[in-house]
């Protein structure tokens, strides 16, 4: 049984964009999802046509990536912070009530930093893909 995100990553509502982690292979990959509700930001993004902001979609991938790296004993007492985002592509609009399926694979992990690739999808249809870079700091 995998731990709930709140027991692994420091994010909390209203800035927690990861509902559950469903699969994890430490130092390799993690799979999970975010059940998107009627989030407050939808009121202004956009009135009459609520759309999940792309930066929040990338953040949900990063939160799954943080979960992945924080499960490795070598990162105990550390906190991964964004070091960069690359090759981001948005492929589909996301609306309230959808489930955003997330998958993050580690590309390179070192004691001080790392790189991962993430894909977010809805119903098997790719919504976003990105490269995520992070640096480790003391928690």
Q: Is 45 an annotated catalytic residue?
A: yes
SS3 of 67, please? helix
Distance CA 56, CA 43 (A): 15
Any bridge partners for residue 88, and if so which?
Answer: none
- Residues ≥6 apart with Cβ < 8 Å to 114: 69, 80, 106, 107, 108, 133, 134, 136
User: Which conformational region is residue 107 in: left (phi greater than 0), alpha (psi within -120 to 50 degrees), or beta?
Assistant: alpha
Question: How are beta strands 99-109 and 113-122 bridged, if at all?
Answer: antiparallel
Active-site entry in 45, 78, 99, 126: 45
Active site residues: 45
């Amino acid at each position: 049984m995998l731990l709930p995100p709140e027991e692994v990553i420091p994010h909390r509502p209203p800035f927690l964009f990861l509902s559950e982690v469903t699969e994890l292979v430490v130092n390799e990959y993690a799979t999970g999802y975010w059940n998107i509700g009627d989030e407050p930001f939808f009121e202004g993004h956009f009135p009459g046509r609520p759309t999940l902001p792309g930066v929040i979609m990338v953040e949900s991938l990063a939160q799954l990536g943080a979960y992945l790296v924080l499960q490795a004993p070598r990162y105990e007492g550390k906190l991964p912070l964004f070091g960069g985002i690359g090759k981001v592509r948005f492929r589909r609009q996301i609306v309230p009530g959808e489930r955003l399926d997330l998958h993050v694979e580690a590309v390179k992990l070192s004691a001080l930093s790392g790189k991962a690739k993430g894909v977010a999808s809805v119903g098997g249809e790719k919504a976003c893909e990105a490269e995520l870079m992070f640096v480790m700091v003391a928690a």
